[in-house]
Amino acid sequence: MSDDLGRPVLALNAGSSSLKFGFFMVGASGSRVLLSGAEETLAKPQAAVARIAQRMEAQGLPAPIAVGHRIVHGGPQCRRHTLIDAAVMWQLEAATAFAPLHVPPALALVRAAQACFSGIAQVACLDTAFHAGMPDVARTLPLPRELRALGIERYGFHGLSGESIVRQLGSDLPPRVVIAHLGHGASVTAVAQGASVDTSMGLTPTGGVIMSTRCGDIDPGVLAYVVREHGYDAAQLEALIDQRSGLLGISGLSGDMRELHAAAASTSASGADARLAIAMFCASVRKQIAAMAVVLGGVDLLVFTGGIGENDASTRAFICEGLEVLGIHKAMTRVSPAQEEELIAWRTWQLTQPPN
């Protein structure tokens, strides 16, 4: 197929339990989507990939020349988007310890795609890759050298989202951008001249701002306390910080911002808890935006993306309250969709270009 017309690429964007996909025709001049959708469960990855293939066939679409996969964490050995071979799969398997909720289902999806679309390239597109060039002052965690030597450092996440925002801005990209990706997971990233220089998430996707069910940054002494005084083990700690905290933990109601807005209208105690959860989330994001403004020496553009960032105007407005003292005004904010599937397809096309 002539690349002037584009080459067909399938992008698979796996979360911890669900899957978004896009089938694109990608070429040097850009990309266009031919099919997109979602699978609500990844419990049976082979069945999910088979259903996507059936939808493609039913619409008379061509077979893909490659499949690109979102991989949340590449660990210390896999820091760039890359073609997947046996060695890369081994490196990604080793990275499972850093993101046990996200990496295993993504790798199961890679195997399912290899089986369904045999003989074509599979590409790992890493959420951590966008942050791989962060300076040491941002990347290094204040831990002993022997632990840092094991790969314990700030990796950062939502990198595909950040890359897609930078790509969308194109020639309009200003020197100093803060990207607030706010959804079930949430992070804030400082971008200087198109490159990530600091970000709120750390070793895992649990750190940084308050999230739907994740606590974000917390006094480490809290964890030592619940281990020492209440007998928590590693599994209980992970469940506490990843599944029982954040908006859900504060409100006791829900980790869904839409449900909290509805509950906040009540004068009951649960309404007060919902209002507190919303206020704490917004304060947490606002603090990180302020921190990134200091890192950048000012802000030229603040971009909101992700489910909350794109669709929740009241939460965006609440977050922006007080940012005027940093010189961040409404005219300097922008709402932009996180086009992760298109970014995956584009990176996959780049890595599978035939030699000249």
Q: Which fold has domain 172-335?
A: Nucleotidyltransferase; domain 5 (3.30.420)
Mean local confidence (pLDDT), 223-251: 97
Confidence of residue 209 (pLDDT cuts 50, 70, 90): very high
Catalytic residues: 127
Q: Percent of the chain scored above 90 by pLDDT?
A: 92
Domain boundaries, the chain: 3-126, 172-335
Considering only 3-17, 184-198, 316-330, which range has the smallest mean pLDDT? 3-17
Cβ neighbours for 6, distance < 8 A, ≥ 6 positions apart: 24, 25, 26, 27, 31, 32
Question: For the whole model, what pTM was predicted?
Answer: 0.95
> Per residue in 166-181, pLDDT tens?
999 999 999 999 999 9
Structure confidence at residue 356 (pLDDT): 66
- 3-126 with 172-335: one CATH topology? yes
Mean local confidence (pLDDT), 148-172: 97
> Per residue in 130-150, pLDDT tens?
999 999 999 999 999 999 999
Q: Has residue 4 got a pLDDT over 70?
A: no
Task: Could you list the residues known to form a binding site, using ranges.
Answer: 13, 20, 70, 181-185, 256-258, 307-311, 340
Task: Could you list the residues known to form a binding site for ATP, using ranges.
Answer: 20, 181-185, 256-258, 307-311
Integer Cα distance of 30 and 203 in angstroms: 34
DSSP 345-356: HHHHHHHTPPP-
Integer Cα distance of 123 and 113 in angstroms: 11
The CATH code of the domain at 3-126 is: 3.30.420.40
Which amino acid is residue 345, in one-letter code?
A
Helix-then-strand count for the chain, H and E: 14, 11
Confidence of residue 164 (pLDDT cuts 50, 70, 90): very high
> Per residue in 309-332, pLDDT tens?
999 999 999 999 999 999 999 999
Task: Could you list the residues known to form a binding site for Mg(2+), using ranges.
Answer: 13, 340
Structure confidence at residue 2 (pLDDT): 47
Radius of gyration of the chain (CA): 21
Q: Has residue 1 got a pLDDT over 50?
A: no
Structure confidence at residue 16 (pLDDT): 72
> Is 187 in contact with 209 (CB distance < 8 Å)?
yes
Mean local confidence (pLDDT), 285-302: 98
What's the whole-number average pLDDT of the chain?
A: 95
